[in-house]
Amino acid sequence: MQESRKIRVGISIGDLNGIGCEVILKTFEDARMLDFCTPVIFASNKTVTYQKNALGFTINYNGVHDAAKAIDGKVNVVNVWKETPKIEFGKETEEGGMYAIKSLRAAVKALKEGKVDVLVTAPINKKNIQADDFKFPGHTDYLAKELDGESLMFMVTNDLRVGLLTDHIAVKDVAEAINPELIRTKTRIIEKSLQMDFGIPRPKIALLGINPHSGDHGVIGKEDDEIMKPVIKEMKEAGQLVFGPYSADSFFGSDGYKKFDAILAAYHDQGLIPFKTLSFGNGVNYTAGLSKVRTSPDHGTAYEIAGKGEADHNSFKEALFKAIQIFKNREEYLELTENPLKKQKVRR
């Protein structure tokens, strides 16, 4: 990235009938946000103007046809479509999903081409995004396909980080999906992300058990004894600071999580219910393990309040700040670790 320009934050607009555009516009109504980054929203002038007027915002923006033409000090809108999609606040429509995907695809393309530095995604509806050419359960799976690396859903705040072994799968399929290789892979992604993206050289990671009370020595399931414990032992013997499996019901209530740099939960609700309870709407969903930085707020489309001007934009703002921070941390990490022998020769 050139030193002369600010970090460019690509922003996909999400479901047009949800609160995505509202939390984006609320965030940048505060002109001080433009001191931190250059926002590039992927939508259209007409769509943003409609939302702006419907919600009573006075924010100004700069329309461009290419993210590379974004201007520092302004809110930029890339015109991804020329037509005027129908906006029906609070309704799950096929059109709302179609334009959410158009925005996402354009933003990811610009990210891959280096026209934006990071990506922050507004919420989508996992049902109405489904199409013949888009069959992904959510952002994470799509980004894993488009960007190099192995993805991991990583929910983060300043003092709590929770990753998931399995994410958007049915509870009945969780135990069967977890195997030693998956545990090794997800733990490795978290460890690398903590080092590269969060500046923690020797991270301590806790793994939560699959079954209640981590199986109670086989009384409530054998998966923890037969799968989790042997892999954790193997990783510890290899020098990784990995601990567990811990009983999930008491782990967060006893403040046990504060002793670790990250927690790896076995399945979606096991990790996200305590995370969202403790983060009070300031949490961020970060996709770890990819070649590019992507974050999003920790909430959904919130159809029930869409179009009413009631949406809390704090999580979106935190997602923006977290993307910028991770991008800077990653640049510093790569600079420090890239070919150290060559750097020593240069210094001589």
* pLDDT at residue 66, rounded to an integer: 95
- The predicted-structure confidence for 4-38, as pLDDT tens digits, reads as follows 578 999 999 999 999 999 999 999 999 999 999 99
pLDDT-derived band at 184, boundaries 50, 70, 90: very high
b/e per residue 318-335 (b: at least 16 CB within 10 A): bbbbbbbbbbbbbeebee
- What average pLDDT does the segment 142-167 reach? 89
| Mean pLDDT of all residues belonging to the chain | 90
pLDDT-derived band at 215, boundaries 50, 70, 90: low
* pLDDT at residue 344, rounded to an integer: 47
* pLDDT at residue 345, rounded to an integer: 44
pLDDT-derived band at 214, boundaries 50, 70, 90: confident
- The predicted-structure confidence for 34-64, as pLDDT tens digits, reads as follows 999 999 999 999 999 999 999 999 999 999 9
CA-nearest of 97, 107, 164 to 135 is 97
Which range among 233-237, 280-284, 341-345 has the greatest average pLDDT? 233-237
